Structure formats: structure tokens, C-alpha cells
Amino acid sequence: MAHILIAEDESDIMLLIRRKLESAGYTVTGTSNGLDVLSLTEEERPDLVLLDIMLPGREGIDICRDIKTGLGPDAPPVVLMSARGQQFDVQAGFDAGADDYLIKPFSPRALLERIEMLLLL
């Protein structure tokens, strides 16, 4: 089953997402620090990265750009998560190379659907 790296600094949300993904059969690695995400992605080679926009250390948008430019065609799909859901915010996420953008609060079903679609591609 696919391996998903979650970067989320709010521990309650991290726990909820982790439980949901693990119960769906995914293997999960979690971090709360933005500075770890790129190196973890390079080292662990997850199948998908789920990335909060507001992280201590480095912002999710910048991390997304780092992953996409640093790993090039080997970069995994990146899903950004944010409470900011205006057109400008979503556009900025896509411009940074994000494969999808989830607006918080989102339902567990929305999360699983988006992940499943990206992993099918």
C-alpha cells in the first residue's frame, strides 16, 4: 500500500489524518516541522506528500516548490492543505506545483478521494 508523508503542525489534525489514512491501509510518516519535509521526501521517497501551508520552519508553498524543482520528474504528488480557500490562495498553490489543494476543514472522504485520484494517475 502507498506511503504518505504528512507535514502538519497541529497535533489534533495530524492525529485525525493519520488515523484515517492508516485505517484506509496507507503507511504514514508524519512531521510537524517544515524544515524536515524536503529531506524526508528525498530519503523516504513517499508516494504522496500531504503538506500544510503554515508550518514552522518553512512555509508549505515553498516546500512544495522545493520538492517539485529539487526532485524533478521523480517528485511525488503534493497535496497542499490550508484554511485559506480564496481563488488567489488556491492559484498560488497550483503555481507552486501542487497537484491538489484541500481547503480546511475538509471531510475524511474528501481527503481519501483526492489521494486516491492522485495515486491512480
Partner 1 sequence: MPGYESRQLIAVDDDKGLLRLLNDTFESEGYDIETFCDPVQALRYVRRRGLPHLALIDLQLPAMHGFDLSAELKAMGDIPIVFITGEDEPEMAVTGLVQYAEDYVRKPFNIGELVARVRRVLSRFADSVYTQTPVTKIDNWLSVDLANQRLWRGKQPVILTPIEANLLHILLRHAGDTVTTDTLLMRVWPYQDVYADTLRVHMHRLRRKIEPDYRRPTYIQTERGVGYRFRID
Positions that interact with partner 1 (CB under 8 A): 85-88, 90-91, 94, 101, 103, 109-110, 113, 116-117, 120-121
* Number of CB atoms found within 10 A of residue 26's CB: 20
Look at the block and give the residue holding cell 512544495.
64
Considering the complex, state which of residue 35 and residue 110 has its C-beta at the smaller distance from partner 1. Answer: 110
CB of 32 to partner 1, least distance (A): 26
Considering the complex, state which of residue 38 and residue 81 has its C-beta at the smaller distance from partner 1. Answer: 81
CB of 92 to partner 1, least distance (A): 9
Considering the complex, state which of residue 12 and residue 87 has its C-beta at the smaller distance from partner 1. Answer: 87
- The number of C-alpha atoms within 13 Å of 64 and in the hemisphere containing its C-beta is 25
* Number of CB atoms found within 10 A of residue 20's CB: 17
Residue 40 host element (H or E):
helix 34-44
